[in-house]
Structure 1
Amino acid sequence: MDGTTRATELTAVEICAGAGGQSLGLHLAGFRHTLAVELDRDAAETLKRNLSRLASDEGHREPVVAVGDVADESVWDPADHAGVSLLAGGVPCPPFSIAGKQLGSSDERDLFAWAVEASGRMQPDAVLLENVRGLSMPRFAGYRQAVLDRFAELGYRADWRLLEAKDFGVPQLRPRFILVALREEFAPYFSWPEPTPAVQTVGAALYDLMAANGWAGAEAWAKKADRVAPTIVGGSKKHGGPDLGPTRAKREWRSLGVDGLGIADAAPGPDTPTDFVPKLTNEMVARIQGWSGPGYEWDFAERKGRKTATYRQIGNAFPPPVARAVGIAIASALRKEGSSTGDHGAGSHDEVYRALRERGDFVSLAVLRKALGGTLADSEIERRIDFIRHDFEVEVRLRGGTPTYRLGEWRAFRGQEDHARHEAFAVDRLRSKIS
């Protein structure tokens, strides 16, 4: 398939697809899925139902929704999908979450590096991966640089941008750290999407849903809910039922007139006091996530007793309007629209990591300082090395009483047969079967 045909058809393979927030956004941007892979069966069922509907409405071939571990080649083989326009996904967030331990490469759920290697096998025209804001922190600068350098080796120009959902018409903060990589042919045409001028409030977004059952207090409630929401927290199967986040987030929700200690089955009725503090329904949470308006219809039909599972699907999603905005920017680049003046991929995230990698042997702080042009003090270089040691083997050797450092292997899972992830995942899978 030649480049012109690929850019016209705009096909997509999506990994760790969840319940379809990114899927819908990419569909609205013009991409058509050939495959989506998701581990959670409830999310995969929602995804399959909706992607099937979209394909049927357009007379297109229904995409395959594969259920299982994305790194298991019995579930899918990246090599079978060579030449797709876009590889996209929302790889697991816990390895980088500020609320967690930020174990990065040491967390068996980390699939970022694996996704980069999958890109190398598939050679798509573009790659889109999203994650939490924590990945943007200094702690992961070396990790980010390793990702960029590996993409460069594979023939791509890549970089990250922190985007907030509120800047794209979503009534929620929800910062997401987005990586976009494009083949050299298309990278100069890529520009990050610009924020929309209007910011939507919680009250404006939810008034009709809150008033749907005749609650007399809905209008006053909507006026009080005059800001964007804090970030929705989807949670995991390991932690209780649905609620709207940690204590600080619940306080913010309370100030908006929302009880964040759970999810309601329905909006307040006509007999509910006007000063009642309501909980959100799953339909309301979906709207807070950006499933709102024509084209954004999505079926989260709850099965009996599965309200919590539905909430997790919605709460863990990538807001469709953000995915649409980034998808449109990628599609424009793949069609080579506009001028080819972009500098995508020109930045650097960790010059200390790069200096260690380029030297390849033991190097002292003095040599590193000189290599960096004297821009960093020894204490800052040591701090950066300490961060790097979380994700990479760093060997330290004394020479004349002076420590020298050599960068070793990246601990991240990239598909290695002897990686600890295999055993950890097997144990988790066994536990899930037992439970």
Structure 2
Amino acid sequence: MRDLNVVEICAGAGGQALGLERAGFEHTLAVELDANAAATLRRNRAAWHVVEGDVADPEKWTPEDYRTVNDEPLDLLAGGVPCPPFTIAGKQLGATDERDLFAWAVNLAERVQPKALLLENVRGLSANRFAAYRQNVLDTLQSAGYAAQWRLLHASDFGVPQLRPRFVLVALRPDYARYFSWPEVSAGVRPTVGETLYDLMAARGWEGARAWADKADDIAPTIVGGSKKHGGADLGPTRAKAAWAKLGVDAMGVADEAPGPGWKPAAGKPGPRLTVDMVARIQGWKPEDKWFFEGRKTTTYRQVGNAFPPPVAEAVGQSIARALRQEGKRNELVEATETVHDPVYKLLRGMERPLGVDQIIKRLAKQGQQLTEPEVERHLAHLERDFIIARVPRSSGALGYKLGEFRAFVGQEGHQRHELFAVNQAKIS
């Protein structure tokens, strides 16, 4: 069997890339904004074509050039587009955040026309706030000839010793989608932080490494890479720091090296800090990967912390690879069940004239959707953050609502994203 090929956008330090490589994909192109992360990719895979810069800059690359590879259609377009637009810390700005590239990446699939698309992001994208955003993505992909599915995957279900939920989108052409199934979770006991890191903690002769590993007998909270808008490296917000403390880890920073002989924690500290290598191990990099991260401590920590865990990417990649090779059992196409994330969006999308709240409630009731007036108003409030909503007075005196354009950047020359990105690029990671 020939190797499958992949073009990866927002490739970061290579977590998803390494996982896809393990699953049998060969990188034709990797595009990454951060100079240090791009250097990491080049350092570890000199044969890959790595392009450094804004993935949406037409001067950096021409997506249409990658419709075919060696005279075959591109197998997979993949990426881990920026997460802050969908996080609470990022204020959940969604389509109005200059870092949002999710809708653009979906539009990119229309331009490149790969056999399969893989995009991953934070759990926040699965929230009610973004129901209409997700619905728009599914509708766009269906119109482009893809069968698409969302799934919330937990890294700890794939042998990674941390929580790390990731919201994953997979879309395939119908001939391949019939063979796609989400990867099964790992059987058996989940590895703990202690057993995962014992050898690294003991590497410099710390006598307390064994006792520490026995105490660190659970999986870790989600590693938080953060962004250039915030300060130095640490292991997350207050709640995460408390969870780390229970594991005997000082989460207030990242260490330069493992503890040495005679090391003891300072007064009030729960234990040692982790090194970047330890964080990478918790993120799913294995010793045999021999993956080197370019840059100083803070930037290497961010590269690791923002990565898609390689074992999760490998598991999803294997499922996609089997589908592309049309192996296994044929399944019912997902569009046959018509997945609905936001019924108000779906209703307004098909209407030429404005509808009032009362009309929305009645029409949805006929479709078997029972929504109250406050629920409809909440849907409309969420919709307005990502879409232009026209308010039109009705003869009854109430307002009618008409769905307008998607606010997200999908490649428009005059979009506000260009100006905001240029102003804030130094803080974007």
Normalising by the smaller structure, the TM-score range is over 0.9
In structure 2, the residue matched to 1:58 is none
* Partner residue of 2:280 out of 264, 286, 290: 286
Please give the secondary structure, in 2, of the residue aligned with 1:180: strand
Distance 1:273 1:137 in 2: 43
- Secondary structure in 2 matching 1:390: helix
Distance in 1, matches of 2:373 and 2:329, equals 43
Counterpart of 1:3 in structure 2 is none
After superposition, what is the alpha-carbon deviation per residue over 1:85-123, rounded to whole angstroms, capped at 9, x for unaligned? 000000011100122210001101101111111110100
Aligned to 1:57: none
Cα offset, 1:379, TM superposition: 2.1
Contact preservation (8 Å) 2:85, 2:99: yes
Q: Does 1:204 align with 2:199?
A: no
| Residue 288 of structure 1: how far off its partner (Å) | 0.5
What is the alpha-carbon distance in structure 1 between the residues aligned to residue 427 and residue 85 of structure 2? 20
The partner residue of 1:132 within 122, 138, 153 is 122
Alignment of 1:254 onto 2:245: yes
Whether 1:392 and 2:384 are equivalent positions in the alignment is no
Distance 1:240 1:378 in 2: 43
1:322-369 deviations in whole A, cap 9, x for unaligned? 000000011111111112124435422111111100113211223322
Give the counterpart letter for 2:97 in structure 1.
D
**How many Å separate the matches in 1 of 2:2 and 2:360?**
47
2:291 counterpart letter in structure 1: W
CA drift of 1:432 comes to 7.0
Partner residue, 1:78: 63
Q: Percent identity?
A: 60
**Residue deviations 1:250-277, cap 9 Å, x none?**
1111110000011111111112138971
Q: Which residue of 2 aligns with 1:369?
A: 361
Q: Give the 5 Å matches for 1:171-186.
A: 171-186=161-176
Question: 1:18 is paired with a residue of what secondary structure?
Answer: coil
In structure 2, distance between residues paired with 1:388 and 1:396: 13
Structure-1 residue corresponding to 2:210: 219
Worse-superposed segment, 397-406 or 89-98: 397-406
Q: CA deviation at 1:381?
A: 1.5
Counterpart residue type for residue 218 of structure 1: A
Structure 2 partner of 1:269: 260
What letter corresponds to residue 368 of structure 1 in structure 2? I
Q: What SS is found at the alignment partner of 1:264?
A: coil
Query: In the TM superposition, what is the alpha-carbon distance from 1:428 to its structure 2 partner?
Result: 2.6
Structure 1, residues 46-69: CA drift from partner, whole Å, max 9, x if none?
A: 0112122xxxxxxxxx22100000
Q: CA-to-partner distance for each residue in 1:277-327, whole Å, 9 max, x for gaps?
A: 100011100000000254x33122x55xx1111111111111000000000
8 Å Cα contact 2:4/2:321 also seen in 1: yes
Counterpart selection for 1:40 from 29, 34, 38: 34
Report 1:37-116 matches (<5 A): 37-52=31-46, 62-82=47-67, 83-116=73-106
> RMSD between aligned alpha carbons?
1.7
Instruction: Pick closer, same or farther for the CA change 1:106–1:220 going to 2, 3 Å.
Output: same
Q: Distance in 2 between matches of 1:342 and 1:41?
A: 43
C-alpha distance in 2, partners of 1:265/1:342? Answer: 52
Query: Which amino acid in 2 is paired with 1:122?
Result: V
How far residue 396 of structure 1 moved from its aligned partner, in angstroms, is 1.2
One-letter amino acid of the structure 1 residue matched with residue 50 of structure 2: V
Matches of residues 9-48 of structure 1 in structure 2 within 5 Å?
A: 9-48=3-42
Change in 2 beyond 3 A, CA 1:349/1:327: same
Equivalent pairs counted in the alignment come to 413
CA contact (8 A) 1:218 1:274 kept: no
Residue 175 of structure 2 aligns to a residue whose secondary structure is coil
Q: What residue identity is the alignment partner of 1:124? A: P
Deviation at 1:371, TM superposition (A): 2.7
Q: In structure 2, what is the Cα distance between the partners aligned to 1:141 and 1:360?
A: 22
Q: Could you tell me how far 1:424 is from its partner in structure 2?
A: 1.2
1:297 paired to 2:290: yes
Give the aligned partner of residue 70 of structure 2.
none
CA distance in 2, matches of 1:356, 1:396: 13
Indicate whether 1:169 and 2:159 are aligned: yes
Partners of 2:418 and 2:240 in 1: CA distance: 35
Partner of 1:413: 409
**What is the distance in 2 between the residues matched to 1:213 and 1:95?**
41
Report the TM-score when normalising by structure 1: 0.92
Is this contact kept in 1: 2:229–2:427, CA < 8 A? no
> Per the alignment, in what secondary structure is the counterpart of residue 280 of structure 1?
coil
Paired letter, 2:341? H
Unaligned residue ranges in structure 1 (runs of 5+) = 1-6, 53-61
> Is contact 1:8–1:335 with CA below 8 Å preserved after alignment?
no
Amino acid at match of 2:317: G
Query: What amino acid maps onto 1:102 in structure 2?
Result: Q
1:381-420 deviation line (CA, Å, top 9, x unaligned):
2211111111000111121212211000000000001100
Residue 375 of structure 2 aligns to which amino acid in structure 1?
Answer: E
In structure 2, the residue matched to 1:121 is: 111
Q: Which runs of 5+ in 2 are unaligned?
A: 68-72
Distance in structure 2 (CA, Å) of the matches to 1:181 and 1:412: 20
Aligned AA for 1:298?
Answer: W
Q: Secondary structure at the match of 2:56?
A: coil
